[in-house]
Amino acid sequence: MSERGLHLVALSGGVDSAVAALQLKESGHEVHCLHMTNWEEDKYCEAAADFQDARKICVQLQMPLHRINFSKEYKRRVFERFLQEHELGHTPNPDVLCNREIKFDVLFNYARRLGGAKLATGHYARLDYSFGKTRLLKGLDADKDQSYFLHSVKRQYLNDVLFPLGQLSKSQVRTIARRAGLPVSEKKSSTGICFIGERPFQPFLRKYLSSQPGPIKNEQGRMIGKHHGLPYYTIGQRQGLGIGGLSGHPPGPWYVAQKDIENNALVVVQGKSHPLLFQNWLQADTTHWINGSPKELNQGKTFRCAAKIRYGQPDQPCMVTPRTNKDLEVFFQNPQRSIAPGQYVVFYQDEHCLGGAKIRSAKMKEEFLAFSV
């Protein structure tokens, strides 16, 4: 793809991608829009309504709209992996997978076949080309920055991608949409699983997973309740445990601290600051560095940077140590609350997103409590 020629916008039917399309048109580009359907199975899916919104946007902006159905690809490359992680007792992040496997692979290649010069999306992120490489940067709006979800996109795709909203805040995007009279200017931002939407989560998973109920235990090992199956819970979870108001315990919320896979037990503790909820070490694998691994790691040395273990978290100082192949150990200067296996640790140097890795395990290691990054 090149800078000139046809620009294609991934148009979800929301305000962000609509303003991205508008920005490109106002910059003088020829713009077509692509609307994906990736899920179409039940009443919670809003694909039909989103497509109608996409049509309204394209009619107003006088842009052609291409509708494509990637539901088979989504199930095979995102949803099946999502279920596999849950079966392992992990907490997967389908938004990361969707970006890597669908938007910036399947959709990108579809845009290329249409003759697209660039593929644009409504992500709040930026790209920098000043060092001879395409670097992924945080969006300027710290509250909306989505570089975390983009960390595993291959650089070969980032070379031909545009993020028109990277310099804007969400409030500025809303203002632009209102001034242009876009029909989605007040549309609520989407939530829930990528392309599946917001829905009752346990009943949804039960349609696809077989699981074994088991005991909920306190930190002393005493059974205080029953869980419906370990795949339905995540580390740090508070809601839906069904163990409030227990006799012999002080009032206060309970949180999931551990999943004991071997004994099919859920370990819970009281209070969001309980020590068992905090870890300062994690092991991660399937590492992806956008522009190659740091030279320190290539030399078998420790690399110092910052990291996030979840979307929206402030940067956390850490040390990264290579293990074997794509495996890493990460030590945090400050203990982190509720590190969940299956999620991603994403690495940063200031505004530069370096890449990330999938979390496999985490614990508190006393010998690293005093280290300073």
Q: Which are the catalytic amino acids?
A: 98, 194
What is the number of other CB atoms lying within 10 angstroms of the CB of residue 243?
17
What is the number of other CB atoms lying within 10 angstroms of the CB of residue 146?
23
Angstrom distance (rounded) from CA 294 to CA 288: 11
What DSSP line would sit under 326-371, residue for residue?
T-EEEEEEEEEE---BTBEEEEEETTEEEEEEEEEEEE--GGGTT-
Angstrom distance (rounded) from CA 57 to CA 21: 9
Strand partners, 357: 345
Closest by Cα among 164, 118, 127, 111 to 7: 118
What is the number of other CB atoms lying within 10 angstroms of the CB of residue 181?
8
Q: Do residues 206 and 86 lie in contact, with contact meaning Cβ atoms separated by under 8 Å?
A: no
Strands 7-10 and 118-120: parallel
Q: Do residues 63 and 315 lie in contact, with contact meaning Cβ atoms separated by under 8 Å?
A: no
Q: Letter for the amino acid at 326?
A: K
